[in-house]
Amino acid sequence: MKYGRTYNFSAGPSMLPEPVLEEVRDELMNFNESGMCVMEMSHRSKVFEDILAEAEKDLRDLLNIPDNYKVMFIQGGGTLQFAMVPMNLMKNGVADYVNTGAWSKKAITEAKKFGKVNVIASSEDKNFSYIPDPAAIQVSDDADYVYICENETINGTTWQSLPDTKGKPLVADQSSMFLSKPCDVSKYGLIWAGVQKNVGPAGMAIVIMREDLIRREDMDPKVPTYLRYDTHADSDSLYNTPNAWAIYVCGKVFKYLKSLGGLEGMAKLNEAKAAPLYEFLDNSEMFKGVVEKHDRSLMNVPFSTGDKELDAAVVKASVEAGFDNLKGHKSVGGLRASIYNAMPKDGVDALIDFLKDFEAKNLK
């Protein structure tokens, strides 16, 4: 880690890989001898169309995306997808949702504006500290799709296996674990991810959608043009001026991940980062993880001392020690370390050393 860089444990916007930032810096004033920054060039230019095409190709390579899936780069971030999903997929006006925390709850609230929502499983009974047993989930016969938040950023849980949706399309919010490990895209009808957590700057979501679900003829005519998936699919994400900068940076990140051995290589790196942190929490007398072991996220690690004032003291000391954003989300409190793809193992090791030192000095 170079001088002046902070170990940023924010849940998003989050760290970007240093090699990517350095490359972006070097190209800022003159991308590819165009004489322009990507932020100021036309999205209709051949230069930018090449950036877009290459980004999609590299993403398809990373995820082995089947040919019958469309890739869309859509402005508005992840929150817009809470509405776009039901607006486009609620053909019969019914959908099944699994409630595993803050972000699935927000998706449920939004979907209820467009039809009937069946909450077919929930972990709210234990403060969202686990993922409901996928094998026990019963899908409704009349549901148009089944929706999960595959990794809950705030609550720190992740699905280790997917539910059997009985042939219904599975829709997954993968924002905070996107491209952190291999993924069989063919098991999903739609995957979406806000890019600011794990692959790029804020302001955009990536949508990967099976073509047969991109409805046209029976779409509610009141759905705004921009909020129809077919609008973006048919125009190759160029219906209007896209978030060109986010696409460009994400493309750089895709190449960076490929250089590390793809998602198989990234998964090994992420496991090597998370394991020692969880081991420390399991053996600490002061700090405890708040998620059941089987359902722990490799990306977001919430923990606590069990005392609000002591948690606040940890946050204060962490800032003084050169760390940032260890404070837990305001809705749950405590502490949280988000250790996305770009967080180096040195950063996690340094965090563990800091926590050990704090514990030694403050344990009563």
What's the total number of domains in the chain?
A: 2
Catalytic positions are 103, 173, 197
pLDDT in tens for each of the 364 residues of the chain? 444 688 999 988 999 999 999 999 999 999 888 998 999 988 988 889 999 999 999 999 999 999 999 999 999 988 999 999 999 999 999 999 999 999 999 999 999 999 999 999 999 999 999 999 999 999 999 999 999 999 999 999 999 999 999 999 999 999 999 999 999 999 999 999 999 999 999 999 999 999 999 977 788 889 999 999 999 999 999 999 999 999 999 999 999 999 999 999 999 999 999 999 999 999 999 999 999 999 999 999 999 999 999 999 999 999 999 899 899 888 787 899 999 999 999 999 999 999 999 999 998 6
Residues 285 and 316 both lie in one domain? yes
Residues 134 and 56 both lie in one domain? yes
* pTM to 2 decimal places: 0.96
**Domain CATH for 321:** 3.90.1150.10
Give strand ranges (E) for 139-284: 146-149, 151-152, 157-158, 170-173, 190-194, 204-210
Write the DSSP string, 109-173.
HHHTTTSEEEEEEE-GGGTT-S---GGG----TT-S-EEEESEETTTTEE-SS----TTSPEEEE
Q: Is residue 234 part of a domain?
A: yes
Query: CA geometry: angle at 161 spanning 331 and 264, to 5°?
Result: 95
Range of the domain at 170: 20-259
Residues 78 and 179 both lie in one domain? yes
Residues 242 and 284 both lie in one domain? no
Residues 270 and 238 both lie in one domain? no
Q: Is residue 15 part of a domain?
A: no
Residue at a domain's end among 259, 291, 325: 259
Residues 301 and 249 both lie in one domain? no
Q: Is residue 8 part of a domain?
A: no
Per-residue pLDDT at 156: 95
Residues 121 and 234 both lie in one domain? yes
Residues 72 and 199 both lie in one domain? yes
Q: Is residue 222 part of a domain?
A: yes
Per-residue pLDDT at 42: 81
Residues 120 and 241 both lie in one domain? yes
